[in-house]
């Protein structure tokens, strides 16, 4: 079985090193799909439904077609639109101005249908149906159980029950979804802002019933995805159709509002939880009844019971359909929702039992890595400073809380890479993965540099094209664990080929040779050596080019994490300020400590937004999203930044495990628990906005009267 | 405390009021996209400050320095310009020739009056470092420096920048030598996907010109008009702190 060197013996891996495309990104030279400009390129735009539910009776595009500058029109994309923002028609024109003018010239006759945009109303039998062919707006019940729940509750000394709610969060990638499509003869080139060049290639080929080798998907840089860009979307086909009709390249980038409406979201979640526990804190039973909406899609389920050991449990979940844009996987789908509800109720239980919340967790959490992390993070954070809930005095109160998380990750065994060594000593690596911002391009080069004993800048990483060897879409925190093993194996083979050549020249056995200081040297006789350049020169006119696949032993799956948050709550304004978050997280072998730390920070910042700010709001009366912009849908900014203290636990012996999602999980729970600790009242709904804080404080006072 | 003059810190609606008239705002208040209403032809006129800014512009030409962010419109074409109700010049609806000096290079270009400065420099001049993210002055990804001050290129019409001197992210490096801010961004990995990075680099550069020794709070304030969805803020703060130090040491 393949293995990595020990972490102490590695030159690059495990250490911090700047990303290889950093200079391109800070100087504006990195080209995103949005930056692609081709000769004669047209601009495409999609006409979207203003109604949350309607039949499209007719689309008259005669005025559109008559507008000078319009080059292609698609009418009546769908017969029925299911949400405000659904596709109706599309147009391509010579300038963005003209294409916007054109959009206003479509004459569409809609038959407006009843709609529903609120989960609670949509669940009722008399609600307007999102899908006319279905009996109700409820998905099939999802059930899971273990042990004997009733027996478990009967054994409990204490039973605690609460309902938790989470709003819909949107990905809000800064580069909106979109692509540039160009047909060259019967071959299609797509510069797509995607997390999956191979996935999009296959889907597009299938859609057009054309050979896969004639579709080329290119994503050299992309401006964020967070799960919402994992597959081909309607805009891909619309852009390609427009390009075909017009006989010219078409750039079709959605605008910010469109991105909010139709490109995905993290579903809402309402979880009614019930926990049974012994007086000493031992958990005996768990029950959850939950629902949530992913708009016209499912996917609102949550992985309860989260992380703690319950010998007996039963969960029931219903997806609820409403007339809103579909969900998409979003950074650890389901997990932050589950962690928020579970860790909140665990804190409420701890209060009832008169236990330290950390002790209650330790008692019921069987994960060994997290046990280490609790210890380490609690010490670094200063958990012993925590006061009893609600005991802080003054108008501005401080509190502390804990959140937890787990994630799978792991590599895809079909992943392949090609490493080439050229006679002039230069090296490249080709792999059809993509860098969605996490620094994949850098670790692709880093692994080759590590194996071949070269500097990072000596290796040219070629990624982001579907014509390179297959790699999975960048989702589920699987990228690093997929690409690193394949690349290492390819680099090992390329190195072995070079060693054979060098061994023949130095008249030693290949296994007597090792790489040292950018040269090849015989262990038995240090005088027998070749510089890297000279060794490569032996290749004559035939470069080494070795393809290899992923193999066991270089990666693993399964991570654990915990985070401690300290907040300040202004009880007069209701404002919550996160002061500090301390995180402990494992991810196996850290391939690049600098980009890894950046990932953890970023995930924690996303959690600050989810906990305190982000909320997609649909107007009940019109069915339209009222905040489809970055002013009213608030994402975290510089002023909201707490202090971060991140420790990535070294478990390098396990090989590479992904890191993008795991640290996004514990934060919301930690922040919510810290707020409860500060003000002595639990707010059971995210985001914790000032109005909810003030309401909770008012109710808390009433309750104590 | 030296305040960083940055349009990204000015309330969005105040900024709008400064460049367009009230009735147009009312008419378009429910248009969700700022771009849509910038692109109406009639929007390109009646800038309340245009008299002042034209004088400033002429003065600026004479002295070689343009002293304010508001740069008036240069007269183009042979015909005398029409004037609007407040004496402001009307240009368009046909394409208008304007001149922009971008990173020291002078460009003449024809723009529709509704074209934003951002779209003009990106689509017509190829400076694609500045990004369109929100297109309504909420995110800072399109931040450029106009006559010494940061502005949001998505929220200014190209013809309102006519004659202006613009610095974009592409102009900050000297050849392949990155600026201290850029170098520090790379070293501290103050980026992930990189789509916001140009805006942050430009805002940070402007901040350090204004305030070479910012505190952490001042750095946060200085980039508070820029959004990063990947969440690289801690690395950005570290990078700006180090850039300030290295610029100080470098004289």
Per CB-CB distance under 8 Å, the chain A contacts of B180 are: none
Decide which of B171, B199, B214 is a domain's last residue: B171
Show which of residues 232-251 on chain A sit within 8 Å of chain B, judged by CB atoms. Answer: none
B79 lies in some domain = no
Alpha-helical runs (H) found in B93-138: 117-119
Tokens matching residue A524: 């038995």
Q: Does any CB of chain A come closer than 8 Å to the CB of residue B6?
A: no
B81 lies in some domain = no
Q: Does any CB of chain A come closer than 8 Å to the CB of residue B237?
A: yes
Decide which of B121, B144, B171 is a domain's last residue: B171
Using CB atoms within 10 A of its CB, is residue B82 exposed (0-12), middle (13-18) or buried (19+)?
Answer: exposed
List the strands of the sheet with A544-549, edge to edge: A459-462, A427-430, A416-421, A544-549
CATH code assigned at B142: 3.10.20.30
Nearest residue on chain A to B119, alpha-carbon basis: A96
d(CA B23, CA A642): 42
Beta strand pairing status for A215-218 and A250-253? Answer: unpaired
d(CA A218, CA A137): 39
d(CA A179, CA A189): 10
- Quick one: how many helices (H) and strands (E) in chain B? 9, 7
Side-chain-side CA neighbours of A336 within 13 Å: the count stands at: 35
| DSSP 8-class letter at B83 | E
Backbone torsions φ then ψ of A658, nearest 5 degrees = -70, 160
pLDDT per residue over B163-205, tens digit each?
999 999 999 999 999 999 999 999 999 999 999 999 999 999 9
Task: Tell me what pLDDT residue B223 has.
Answer: 98
Do both B214 and B194 map to the same domain?
Answer: yes
d(CA A580, CA B47): 46
| DSSP 8-class letter at B152 | E
Per CB-CB distance under 8 Å, the chain B contacts of A29 are: 129, 170
- Residue B192 sits at the vertex; the CA angle it makes with B188 and B198, to the nearest 5 degrees, is 85
Confidence band for B91, pLDDT divided at 50, 70 and 90: confident
Backbone torsions φ then ψ of A162, nearest 5 degrees = -150, 160
Q: Is the separation of the CB atoms in A394 and A335 below 8 Å?
A: no
The CA distances from residue A155 to A274, A347, A395, in Å, are: 14, 21, 42
Q: Name the residue among A69, A66, A74, A65 with its Cα closest to residue A47.
A: A74
Task: Tell me what pLDDT residue B83 has.
Answer: 67
d(CA A241, CA A628): 27
Do both B184 and B165 map to the same domain?
Answer: no
Q: Name the residue among A490, A492, A487 with its Cα closest to residue A591.
A: A487
d(CA B32, CA B40): 14
B244 lies in some domain = yes
- CB-nearest partner of A174 from B186, B189, B193: B193
Q: Tell me how long chain B is.
A: 251
Confidence band for B64, pLDDT divided at 50, 70 and 90: very low
Strands (E) in A127-245, as ranges, are 142-146, 158-166, 178-184, 187-192, 215-218
Backbone torsions φ then ψ of A191, nearest 5 degrees = -90, 100
DSSP secondary structure letters along A459-514? EEEE-SBTTSSB---S-TT-HHHHHHHHHHHHHHHHHHHHHHHHHHHHTS-GGGEE
Q: Does any CB of chain A come closer than 8 Å to the CB of residue B47?
A: no
Averaged over successive runs of 10 residues, the pLDDT of chain A (705 residues) comes to: 93 97 98 97 98 98 98 96 98 96 98 97 97 95 97 98 98 98 98 98 98 98 98 98 98 98 98 98 98 97 98 98 98 98 98 97 97 98 97 96 96 98 98 98 98 97 98 97 98 98 97 94 96 97 97 96 98 98 97 97 97 98 97 97 96 96 98 98 97 93 51
d(CA A2, CA A523): 22
B242 lies in some domain = yes
Per CB-CB distance under 8 Å, the chain A contacts of B122 are: 35
Do both B165 and B188 map to the same domain?
Answer: no
B83 lies in some domain = no
Alpha-helical runs (H) found in A545-666: 593-612
Show which of residues 33-62 on chain A sit within 8 Å of chain B, judged by CB atoms. Answer: 34-35, 37
Q: Name the residue among A445, A438, A522, A454 with its Cα closest to residue A484.
A: A445
The radius of gyration computed from the CA coordinates of chain B, to the nearest angstrom, equals: 18
Confidence band for B90, pLDDT divided at 50, 70 and 90: confident
- Cα torsion B7, B8, B11, B12: sign: positive
Per CB-CB distance under 8 Å, the chain A contacts of B35 are: 100, 255
Tokens matching residue B64: 């070689």
Tokens matching residue B65: 């320095």
- CB-nearest partner of B128 from A21, A31, A606: A31
A22 with B186: Cβ contact below 8 A: yes
Q: Tokens 């509800």 belong to which residue?
A: A341
Do both B104 and B200 map to the same domain?
Answer: no
Task: Tell me what pLDDT residue B230 has.
Answer: 98
Chain A: nearest CA to B51, how far in angstroms?
A: 28
B122 lies in some domain = yes
B35 with A255: Cβ contact below 8 A: yes
- CB-nearest partner of A639 from B172, B220, B236: B220
Chain B: nearest CA to A634, how far in angstroms?
A: 10
d(CA A200, CA A207): 10
Show which of residues 574-613 on chain A sit within 8 Å of chain B, judged by CB atoms. Answer: 594-595, 597-599, 601-606
d(CA A374, CA A358): 8
Q: Name the residue among A590, A575, A579, A566 with its Cα closest to residue A662.
A: A590
B123 with A19: Cβ contact below 8 A: no
Q: Coil, strand, or helix at residue B105?
A: strand
Backbone torsions φ then ψ of B112, nearest 5 degrees = -65, 145
- The interface pTM score, or ipTM, of the predicted complex is 0.97
Residue A134 makes CB contacts below 8 A (sequence gap 6+) with: A321
Per CB-CB distance under 8 Å, the chain B contacts of A630 are: 133-134, 138-139, 227
DSSP secondary structure letters along A277-291? E-TTS-EEEEEEEEE
A174 with B235: Cβ contact below 8 A: no
Confidence band for B29, pLDDT divided at 50, 70 and 90: very low
Identify the residue among A18, A26, A104 best suited for mutation to test binding to B, counting B beta carbons within 10 A and taking the highest: A26
Tokens matching residue B226: 């820029």
Do both B50 and B111 map to the same domain?
Answer: yes
Q: Is the separation of the CB atoms in A563 and A663 below 8 Å?
A: yes
Do both B123 and B193 map to the same domain?
Answer: no
Dihedral in degrees, nearest 10, Cα atoms A555, A560, A564, A569: 100
Task: Tell me what pLDDT residue B81 has.
Answer: 55
Per CB-CB distance under 8 Å, the chain A contacts of B197 are: 25-26
Find the helix or strand (DSSP H, E) in which A573 lies.
none
Interchain CB contacts (distance < 8 Å): A and B: 181
Decide which of B171, B206, B227 is a domain's last residue: B171
Confidence band for B250, pLDDT divided at 50, 70 and 90: confident
A26 with B178: Cβ contact below 8 A: yes
Tokens matching residue A9: 């013996």
Chain B: nearest CA to A148, how far in angstroms?
A: 43
Domain of B52, in residue numbers? 7-74+91-171
B241 lies in some domain = yes
Q: Tokens 């550069």 belong to which residue?
A: B205
- Residue B117 sits at the vertex; the CA angle it makes with A192 and A36, to the nearest 5 degrees, is 20
Q: Does any CB of chain A come closer than 8 Å to the CB of residue B136?
A: yes
Residue A250 makes CB contacts below 8 A (sequence gap 6+) with: A41, A42, A43, A44, A72, A92, A180, A181, A182, A239, A242, A243
Do both B150 and B218 map to the same domain?
Answer: no
d(CA A440, CA A445): 9
Using CB atoms within 10 A of its CB, is residue B182 exposed (0-12), middle (13-18) or buried (19+)?
Answer: buried
pLDDT per residue over A404-429, tens digit each?
999 999 999 999 999 999 999 999 99
Q: Coil, strand, or helix at residue A191?
A: strand
Q: Tokens 């003065």 belong to which residue?
A: B59
Provide the number of structural domains found in chain B.
2
- CB-nearest partner of A27 from B132, B169, B187: B169
Do both B161 and B230 map to the same domain?
Answer: no
A630 with B233: Cβ contact below 8 A: no
Using CB atoms within 10 A of its CB, is residue B64 exposed (0-12), middle (13-18) or buried (19+)?
Answer: exposed
d(CA A56, CA A42): 27
Do both B108 and B190 map to the same domain?
Answer: no
- pLDDT surpasses 80 at B73: no
A27 with B196: Cβ contact below 8 A: no
- CB-nearest partner of B135 from A25, A256, A604: A256
| DSSP 8-class letter at B120 | I
Do both B123 and B54 map to the same domain?
Answer: yes
Backbone torsions φ then ψ of A474, nearest 5 degrees = -80, 85
Beta-bridge partners for B107: B100
Phi-psi sector, A609: left (phi>0), alpha (psi -120 to 50), beta: alpha
Domains of chain A and any CATH numbers: 7-30+411-549 (3.30.365.10), 33-113+178-253 (3.90.1170.50), 354-408+556-704 (3.30.365.10)
Residue A46 makes CB contacts below 8 A (sequence gap 6+) with: A77, A87, A88, A89, A90, A234, A235, A238, A252, A254, A258
Per CB-CB distance under 8 Å, the chain A contacts of B36 are: 100
Residue B251 makes CB contacts below 8 A (sequence gap 6+) with: none
Q: Does any CB of chain A come closer than 8 Å to the CB of residue B192?
A: yes
Beta strand pairing status for A283-293 and A313-320? Answer: parallel
Q: Does any CB of chain A come closer than 8 Å to the CB of residue B21?
A: no
Cα A45 to chain centroid, rounded:
27
Q: Name the residue among A182, A662, A111 with its Cα closest to residue A408.
A: A662
Tokens matching residue A684: 């059971």
Chain A: nearest CA to B56, how far in angstroms?
A: 31
Do both B136 and B201 map to the same domain?
Answer: no
Q: Name the residue among A419, A425, A416 with its Cα closest to residue A491.
A: A419
Q: Does any CB of chain A come closer than 8 Å to the CB of residue B229?
A: yes
- pLDDT surpasses 60 at B6: no
Identify the residue among A16, A25, A34, A479 best suited for mutation to test binding to B, counting B beta carbons within 10 A and taking the highest: A25
B189 with A22: Cβ contact below 8 A: yes
Chain B: nearest CA to A208, how far in angstroms?
A: 30
The radius of gyration computed from the CA coordinates of chain A, to the nearest angstrom, equals: 28
Find the helix or strand (DSSP H, E) in which A341 lies.
helix A335-353
B235 with A601: Cβ contact below 8 A: yes
Confidence band for B15, pLDDT divided at 50, 70 and 90: very low
CATH code assigned at B194: 1.10.150.120
Chain A: nearest CA to B1, how far in angstroms?
A: 17
Do both B244 and B151 map to the same domain?
Answer: no
d(CA A409, CA A375): 24
B62 lies in some domain = yes
Per CB-CB distance under 8 Å, the chain B contacts of A637 are: 224, 226-227, 233
């Amino acid at each position: 079985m393949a293995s990595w060197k020990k972490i102490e013996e590695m030159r690059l891996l495990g250490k911090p090193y700047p990303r290889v495309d950093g200079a391109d990104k800070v100087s504006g030279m990195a080209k995103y799909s949005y930056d692609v400009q081709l000769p004669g390129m047209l601009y495409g735009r999609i006409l979207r439904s203003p109604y949350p539910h309607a039949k499209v009776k007719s689309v008259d595009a005669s005025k559109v077609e008559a507008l000078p500058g319009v080059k292609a029109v698609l009418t009546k994309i769908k017969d029925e639109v299911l949400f405000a923002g659904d596709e109706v028609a599309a147009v391509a024109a010579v300038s963005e101005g003209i294409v916007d003018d054109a959009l206003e010239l479509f004459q569409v006759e809609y038959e407006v249908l009843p709609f529903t945009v609120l989960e609670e109303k949509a669940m009722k039998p008399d609600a307007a149906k999102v899908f006319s062919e279905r009996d109700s707006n409820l998905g099939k019940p999802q059930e899971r159980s273990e042990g004997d729940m009733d027996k478990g509750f009967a054994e409990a000394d204490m039973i605690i029950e609460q309902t938790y709610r989470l709003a819909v969060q949107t990905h809000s990638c800064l580069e909106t979804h979109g692509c540039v499509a160009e047909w060259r003869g019967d071959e299609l080139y797509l510069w797509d802002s995607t997390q999956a060049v191979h996935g999009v290639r296959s889907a597009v080929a299938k859609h057009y019933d054309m050979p896969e080798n004639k579709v080329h998907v290119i994503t050299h840089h992309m401006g964020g995805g967070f799960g919402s860009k994992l597959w081909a979307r309607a805009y891909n086909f619309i852009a390609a159709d427009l390009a075909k009709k017009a006989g010219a390249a078409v750039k079709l980038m959605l605008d910010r509002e469109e991105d909010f409406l139709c490109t995905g979201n993290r579903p809402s979640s309402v979880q009614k939880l019930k926990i049974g526990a012994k007086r000493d804190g031992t958990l005996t039973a768990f029950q959850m009844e939950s629902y949530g909406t992913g708009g016209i899609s499912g996917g609102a389920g949550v992985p309860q019971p989260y992380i703690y050991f319950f010998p007996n449990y039963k969960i029931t979940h219903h997806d609820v359909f409403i007339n809103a844009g579909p969900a998409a996987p979003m950074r650890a789908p389901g997990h932050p929702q589950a962690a928020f509800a579970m860790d909140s109720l665990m804190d409420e239980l701890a209060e009832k039992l008169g236990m330290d919340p950390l002790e209650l967790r330790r008692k019921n959490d069987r994960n060994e890595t997290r046990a280490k992390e609790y210890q380490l993070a609690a010490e670094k954070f200063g958990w012993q400073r925590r006061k009893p809930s609600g005991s802080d005095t003054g108008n501005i109160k401080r509190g502390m809380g804990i959140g937890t998380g787990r994630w799978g990750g792991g590599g895809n065994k079909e992943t392949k890479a090609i490493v080439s060594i050229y006679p002039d000593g230069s090296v490249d690596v080709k792999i059809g993965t993509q860098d969605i911002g996490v620094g994949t391009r850098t670790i692709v080069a880093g692994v080759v540099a590590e194996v071949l004993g070269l500097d990072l800048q000596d290796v040219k990483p070629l990624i982001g094209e579907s014509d390179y060897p297959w790699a999975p879409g960048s989702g589920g925190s699987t990228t690093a664990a997929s690409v690193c093993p394949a690349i290492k194996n390819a680099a090992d083979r390329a190195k072995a080929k070079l060693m054979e050549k060098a061994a023949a020249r130095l008249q030693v056995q290949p296994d007597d040779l090792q790489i040292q200081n950018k040269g090849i040297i015989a262990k038995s006789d240090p005088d027998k050596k070749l510089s890297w350049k000279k060794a490569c020169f032996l290749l004559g006119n035939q470069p080494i080019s070795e393809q290899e696949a992923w193999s066991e032993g270089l990666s693993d799956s399964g991570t654990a994490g915990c985070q401690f948050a300290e907040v300040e709550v202004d009880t007069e304004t209701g404002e919550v300020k996160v002061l500090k978050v301390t995180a402990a997280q494992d991810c196996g072998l850290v391939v690049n400590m600098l980009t890894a730390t950046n990932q953890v920070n970023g995930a924690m910042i996303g959690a600050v937004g989810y906990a305190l700010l982000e909320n997609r709001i649909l107007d009940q009366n019109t069915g339209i999203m009222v905040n489809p912009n970055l002013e009213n849908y608030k994402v975290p900014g510089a002023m909201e930044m707490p202090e971060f203290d991140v420790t990535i636990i070294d478990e390098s012996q396990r090989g590479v495990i992904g890191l993008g999602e795991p640290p996004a999980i514990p934060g919301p729970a930690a922040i919510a628990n810290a707020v409860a600790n500060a003000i002595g009242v639990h707010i059971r709904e995210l985001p914790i906005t000032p109005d909810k804080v003030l309401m909770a404080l008012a109710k808390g006072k009433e309750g104590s009267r | 405390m030296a305040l960083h003059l940055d349009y990204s810190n000015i309330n969005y609606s105040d900024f709008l009021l400064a460049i367009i008239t009230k009735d147009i705002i009312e008419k378009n208040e429910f248009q969700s996209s700022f771009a849509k209403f910038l692109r109406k032809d009639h929007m390109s006129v009646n800038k309340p400050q245009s008299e002042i800014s034209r004088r400033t512009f002429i003065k600026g030409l004479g002295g070689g320095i343009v002293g304010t962010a508001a740069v008036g419109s240069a007269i183009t074409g042979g015909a005398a310009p029409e004037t609007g109700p407040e004496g402001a010049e009307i240009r368009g609806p046909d394409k208008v020739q304007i001149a922009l000096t971008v990173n020291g290079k002078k460009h003449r270009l024809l723009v529709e009056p509704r074209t934003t400065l951002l779209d003009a420099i990106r689509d017509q001049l190829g400076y694609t470092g500045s990004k369109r993210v929100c297109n309504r002055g909420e995110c800072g990804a399109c931040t450029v420096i106009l006559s010494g001050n940061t502005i949001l290129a998505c929220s200014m019409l190209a013809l309102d920048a006519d004659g202006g001197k613009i610095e974009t992210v592409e102009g900050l490096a000297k050849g392949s030598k990155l600026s201290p801010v850029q170098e520090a961004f790379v070293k501290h990995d103050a980026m992930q996907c990189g789509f916001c990075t140009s805006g942050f680099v430009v805002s940070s550069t402007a901040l350090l010109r204004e305030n070479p020794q910012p505190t952490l709070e001042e750095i946060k304030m200085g980039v508070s008009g820029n959004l990063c969805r990947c969440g690289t803020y801690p690395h950005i703060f570290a990078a700006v702190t180090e850039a300030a130090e290295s610029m100080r040491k470098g004289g």
